[in-house]
Amino acid sequence: MHKLAELNNPAAALLFADYCQSSGLQVKAELATAGPAILYCDEGDYQQATALLREFIQQPDHPRYQAAAWQRSQPVAQTGRPVKVAIPWAKVINSPVTSLILLLCLLVYGWQQLDFKTATSSLQLTEPAQLWRWFTPALLHFSVTHLVFNLLWWLLLASALERRFGSISLLHFTVVTAVISNAAQYFLVGTNFGGLSGVVYALFGFCWLNQKRDPQPRPLISDPLAIFMVVWLLLGFADVLWVSMANWAHLAGLLAGLLMALLMKPPRAAVDH
């Protein structure tokens, strides 16, 4: 294979390689412990890959690149290893609050496609006196990738919490952590944000600490995954990623989830089946 380019951002190199491979081009990224990541491609694909690389450098945050990574079941991580998410669909169906929030996010996203301005202006935290707005930014998503990423983790983690602690507890958890994460982003940055990721970070923190306090046979959040999520959070604050993130909402959500893990106890009869 021929050397195509060097990129200082390993995650961006992996993202571009995934996009090329989803387009039928033989491009791979070689990561090093130190120094830039190197992109290689087949000789026959060199010209087309070069043209795609120019487009990528100009718009690295375009949704089509993240979409390609999801299609290949490899959410981008600096390790370059695929992250597989197994969703217990049968159990999700029997989790009404999990299903309700999923449906609301999908309906709101459809509304955004039909009338983006009205949808966002109706749900963003622009009028603090309207109390529902402290929650509703969690239902807004600004790309398919943004929506899919949050909902995949929501389905996995929220359904597990709902089965173990009950639907009322999950509803309470969701409202509280959404309000806390939205409030942090609002007061520290402004109104231009949306997404379920503050609640997702809360679920990450909750599931990880709850597993430490009350070990289960099949932990949802391993220590390496927890470390990766914290590193990803720190990279967001360092502003070195190719996407804009609601960093304060993520941090507040994570802290709220850890606190909720200390406060919430499962019913005595609860079992993780």
Find the CATH number of the domain harbouring 51.
Answer: 3.30.70.2350
Do 175 and 49 belong together in one domain? no
CA distance 159 to 167: 9
pTM, entire model: 0.63
Alpha helices in the chain (DSSP H): 10-22, 46-58, 63-71, 89-93, 96-114, 116-123, 144-165, 167-188, 197-213, 223-238, 247-263
Q: What is the residue range of 60's domain?
A: 2-71
Give how many domains the chain has, as a whole number. Answer: 2
Asked if residue 256 belongs to a domain, the reply is yes
Asked if residue 272 belongs to a domain, the reply is no
Boundary (domain end) residue, out of 44, 71, 98: 71
* pLDDT mean by block of 10 residues, the chain; 273 residues: 81 79 81 75 86 82 58 41 46 78 96 93 93 95 88 91 91 97 93 91 92 73 79 72 74 94 70 43
For 195-250, what is each residue's pLDDT tens digit?
999 999 999 999 999 888 877 666 677 777 778 778 877 777 666 555 567 888 99
Asked if residue 223 belongs to a domain, the reply is yes
Do 16 and 111 belong together in one domain? no
Do 109 and 153 belong together in one domain? yes
Do 15 and 94 belong together in one domain? no
Q: Among residues 253, 163, 272, which one has the least CA distance to residue 214?
A: 272
Give the residues across from 28 on adjacent strands: 40
Do 16 and 122 belong together in one domain? no
Active-site residues, by number, are 197, 250
Asked if residue 237 belongs to a domain, the reply is yes
